[in-house]
């Protein structure tokens, strides 16, 4: 999304601007994190300057840190504390030309694809070396000197088995890591299968990153949506005005702008976005040919979503029904905040007389009802899920 922060800018400056504009409340922990991120960006800038082949390169080389001397940052804290927002500001302000921001699961999927491709090439006699980790790490580090990961979590034993060796190789090649997580490093892959094979990674992580606990005073998303209806019906001018008022509360009155999300070589158009909030219509998300991967990308990019003008779904709209079911499942599983305007209450939204979607929509209605509750807004755990 367009944002008033560019390479070379300061995270702390943008943070103070948002406080002045009333978009967020000033918080000492967030201010301290912004300063720490700016410190890393200054080190990265010095690192770039020292590596330039210019007549002044010798002057800076003695003072600037080497690639492997810039420590990264592992940021952990509860949901809604501003971790992703501040990391996004860091990424936009980062002066490194080779940088990458990704959801951690997407990054690891890419790693496994690269490992599989290396093994296939080895079998075909196109490359040498049985160990795929060194060439994979080399390729990743050649593409990005700074890696930013959102929602760093380890649940897959296949990931756990390779993380220590992979990141040892990445750090040796000078990669700087910035990551957000809901848990401190020592709680990663807690109670996981064969966790002893994973724990060396924690030592590697701690050796190359500082740990920052973001214990902000409050969930700023909760503050924006407190005392706001989250599901509004029926459709009409009154609901439209209420939705507009909710959007102003969510964004703090900051002007929204269109944005795009890149997904596998194409783009999802976002009609309006501000910080970690986005505004869509039902047509944008469920009449357009979007799939599960697209909905997941949206859920990960924007923590608060507004979905407007959801109609009563009848016969002949099975594709739209399936997309809406998947959308709500995805937002539910990712703990997104959701504001909806619809033409009927959740239990009456689906009125088709044929197809299997009627059974699936029972789960959708149940989740819509749960997601409009104060408990959901406060960030509690989901209720027992319907199968």
Per-residue pLDDT of the chain (387 residues; tens, 9 = 90+): 345 678 888 999 999 988 887 777 788 999 999 999 999 999 998 876 655 544 445 444 444 445 557 899 999 987 767 888 899 899 999 999 999 998 888 899 899 999 999 999 998 888 888 899 999 999 999 999 999 998 898 888 888 989 999 999 999 999 999 999 988 999 998 888 888 889 999 999 999 999 999 875 555 555 566 678 899 999 999 999 999 999 988 887 777 889 888 887 788 999 998 878 899 999 999 999 999 889 998 998 888 999 999 999 988 888 999 999 999 999 998 888 999 999 999 999 998 776 677 778 889 999 999 999 877 877 643 433 332
Residue 6 lies in a domain: no
Task: Look at residue 77 in the predicted model and tell me its pLDDT.
Answer: 86
Task: Look at residue 55 in the predicted model and tell me its pLDDT.
Answer: 42
Task: Look at residue 64 in the predicted model and tell me its pLDDT.
Answer: 41
CA distance 298 to 77: 22
- Closest-CA residue to 140 (of 110, 179, 105, 181): 110
Q: Are residues 57 and 109 located together in one domain of the fold? A: yes
Q: Are residues 242 and 278 located together in one domain of the fold? A: yes
Residue 327 lies in a domain: yes
Q: Are residues 167 and 230 located together in one domain of the fold? A: no
CA distance 19 to 17: 5
Of 213, 242, 259, the residue that ends a domain is 213
Under a CB-based contact definition with an 8 Å cutoff, are residues 361 and 220 in contact?
Answer: no
Q: Are residues 251 and 314 located together in one domain of the fold? A: yes
Q: What is the CATH number of the domain that holds 135?
A: 3.40.50.300
Residue 197 lies in a domain: yes
Of 174, 197, 213, the residue that ends a domain is 213
Residue 245 lies in a domain: yes
**Angle, to 10 degrees, between the axis of helix 11-21 and the axis of helix 83-93?**
130
- Three-state SS letters, the chain: CCCCCCCCCCHHHHHHHHHHHCCCCCCHHHHHHHHHHHHHHHHHHHHHHHHCCCCCHHHHHCCCCCHHHCCEEEEECCCCCCHHHHHHHHHHHCCCCCEEEEEHHHHHHHHHHHHHHHHHHHHCCCCCCCCCHHHHHHHHHHHCCEEEEECCCCCCHHHHHHHHHHHHHHHHCCCEEEEEECCCHHHCCCCCCCHHHCHHHHHHHHHHEEEEECCCCCCHHHHHHCCCCCEECCCCHHHHHHHHHHHHHHHCCCCCEEEEEEECCEEEEEEEEECCEEEEEHHHHHHCCCCHHHHHHHHHHCCEEEEEEECCECCCCHHHHHHHHHHHHHHHHCCCEEEEEECCCHHHCECCCCCCHHHHHHHHHHHHHHHCCHHHHCCCCCCCCCC
Residue 276 lies in a domain: yes
Between the alpha carbon of residue 67 and those of residues 50, 71, 167, 286, the distances in Å are: 10, 9, 15, 46
Q: Are residues 155 and 238 located together in one domain of the fold? A: no
Q: Are residues 251 and 282 located together in one domain of the fold? A: yes
Q: Are residues 165 and 249 located together in one domain of the fold? A: no
Task: Look at residue 348 in the predicted model and tell me its pLDDT.
Answer: 92
Residue 150 lies in a domain: yes
With vertex at residue 41, the alpha carbon angle to CA 147 and CA 103, rounded to the nearest 5 degrees, is 25
Of 183, 213, 243, the residue that ends a domain is 213
Overall domain count for the chain: 2
Q: Are residues 193 and 262 located together in one domain of the fold? A: no
Task: Look at residue 360 in the predicted model and tell me its pLDDT.
Answer: 83
Residue 235 lies in a domain: yes
Q: Are residues 199 and 247 located together in one domain of the fold? A: no
Question: For the chain, what's the residue count?
Answer: 387
Task: Look at residue 375 in the predicted model and tell me its pLDDT.
Answer: 78
Residue 387 lies in a domain: no
Residue 73 bridge partners (DSSP): 178, 210
CA distance 312 to 184: 44
Q: Are residues 301 and 156 located together in one domain of the fold? A: no
Q: Are residues 201 and 340 located together in one domain of the fold? A: no
Residue 232 bridge partners (DSSP): 341
Q: Are residues 38 and 71 located together in one domain of the fold? A: yes
Q: What is the CATH number of the domain that holds 288?
A: 3.40.50
**Domain that residue 102 falls in:** 11-213
Task: Look at residue 251 in the predicted model and tell me its pLDDT.
Answer: 80
């Amino acid at each position: 999304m367009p944002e008033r922060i560019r390479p070379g800018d300061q995270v702390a400056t943008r943070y103070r601007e948002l406080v002045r504009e009333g978009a967020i409340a000033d918080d000492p922990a967030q201010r301290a994190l912004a300063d720490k991120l700016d410190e890393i960006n200054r080190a990265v800038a010095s690192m770039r300057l020292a590596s330039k082949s210019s007549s002044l390169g010798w002057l800076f080389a003695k003072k600037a840190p080497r690639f492997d001397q810039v420590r990264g940052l592992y940021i952990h804290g509860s949901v809604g504390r501003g971790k992703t927002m501040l990391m996004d500001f860091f990424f936009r302000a980062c002066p490194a030309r080779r940088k990458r921001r990704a959801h951690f699961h997407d990054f690891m999927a890419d790693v496994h694809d690269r490992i599989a491709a290396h093994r296939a090439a080895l079998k075909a006699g196109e490359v040498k070396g049985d160990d795929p980790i060194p060439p994979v790490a080399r390729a990743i580090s050649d593409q990005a000197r700074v890696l930013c990961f959102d929602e760093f979590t380890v649940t897959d034993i296949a990931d756990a088995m390779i993380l220590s060796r992979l990141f040892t190789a990445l750090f040796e090649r000078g990669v700087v890591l910035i990551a957000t997580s809901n848990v401190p490093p020592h709680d990663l892959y807690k109670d996981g299968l064969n966790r002893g094979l994973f724990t060396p990674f924690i030592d590697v992580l701690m050796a190359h990153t500082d740990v920052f606990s973001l214990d902000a005073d409050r969930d700023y998303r909760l503050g924006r949506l407190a005392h706001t209806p989250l599901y509004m019906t029926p459709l009409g001018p009154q609901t439209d005005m209420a939705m507009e008022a909710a959007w102003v509360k969510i964004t703090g009155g900051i002007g929204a702008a269109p944005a795009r999300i890149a997904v596998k070589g194409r783009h999802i158009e976002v009609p309006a976005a501000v910080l970690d909030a986005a505004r869509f219509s039902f047509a944008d998300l469920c009449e357009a040919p979007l799939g599960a991967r697209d909905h997941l990308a949206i859920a990960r990019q924007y923590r608060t979503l507004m979905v407007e003008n959801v109609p009563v779904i009848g016969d002949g709209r099975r594709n739209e029904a399936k997309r809406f079911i998947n959308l709500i499942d995805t937002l539910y599983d990712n703990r997104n905040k959701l504001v909806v305007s619809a033409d009927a209450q959740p239990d009456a939204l689906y009125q088709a007389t044929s197809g299997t979607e009627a059974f699936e929509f029972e789960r959708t209605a149940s989740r819509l009802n749960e997601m409009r509750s104060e408990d959901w807004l406060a960030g509690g755990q989901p209720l027992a899920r319907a199968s």
